[in-house]
Amino acid sequence: MYRPANIAGAAPVLLWMHGGAWSLGGPEFDDHWLLGIAERAGVHVVSVDYRLAPEHPFPGAIEDCRTVLRWLRQQAAALNIDGRAICVGGSSAGANLAAGLTLLCRDAGEPQPALQLLMYPALDDRLETPSMLGIDDPRTINRSFMRERWRAYLGSRDPCSYYAAPARAQDLHGLPRTSILAAELDALRDEAVAYAERLVATGIECTLLVLRGAVHGCEAIAPQSSLAASVSSWAVSQLLHATRPRLA
């Protein structure tokens, strides 16, 4: 849990799910980036150490994230957080978990987060979009890699639940305000764009940014780059927009 200094009163919180294709990494993977987000946006950040595949396939990881979200709601006063300004977010597989979590909340009749912040989200296990078929650079994620990772995450589950692959959800009504970041040179680009378009068509407030010339996870690959600064500034602006009171 990252707590910025000098916060007076209850503050918003970002529940964050790290990337790593559901099978790699941990909360410490995003330490530097999340510290910056917490300070600049004035939010607490809670990063989930969820169970990893293939030892723990779906729904292990998303159940862990749901447990932490419920804990945040229940302990809001004790944790000095604003229960009305809980956001969820993640990168890559973490964005998949965030998107699945909002679908779970909707279907269970539980309160929706103030925002879902989805960076390079992996949303569609079918792997048939033009970017997935056309971007095959071995230096970044590609269709072959994603096929293996989806197989490890889903295990023997067939058919695939839309909580695991949110692009399979037929109905997107009732979801929260959404901010989606995609990268031009990312195989996941088109499923992120398609999800944003479907949310807008449903009437959900959604912001989409496609970073030109960027690859998947560019802010982690080159943290001192101008692209990394753009990603950080974008995330901060989306959190501020979703959690700060509007002026009349």
Which burial class, exposed, middle or buried, applies to 134 when counting CB atoms under 10 A from its CB (0-12, 13-18, 19+)?
Answer: exposed
Laid out side by side, the sheet with 81-91 consists of 44-48, 11-17, 81-91, 115-119, 178-183, 206-211
Catalytic residue list contains 216? yes
> In a 3-state reduction of DSSP, which class is residue 86?
strand
Q: Mark whether 32 is an active-site residue.
A: no
Q: How many residues does the chain have?
A: 248
Q: For this structure, is 56 an active site residue?
A: no
- Other CB atoms within a 10 A radius of the CB of residue 237 amount to 15
Q: Catalytic: which of 92, 125, 179, 190?
A: 92
Which of the residues 30, 125, 186, 190 is marked catalytic?
Answer: 186
Instruction: For residue 242, give both structure tokens.
Output: 């979703």
Q: Using alpha carbons, select from 206, 202, 205 the residue that is nearest to residue 173.
A: 202
Specify whether the backbone of 44 is left (phi greater than 0), alpha (psi in -120 to 50) or beta. beta
Q: Residues 47, 124, 125, 216: which is the catalytic one?
A: 216
Active site members = 92, 186, 216
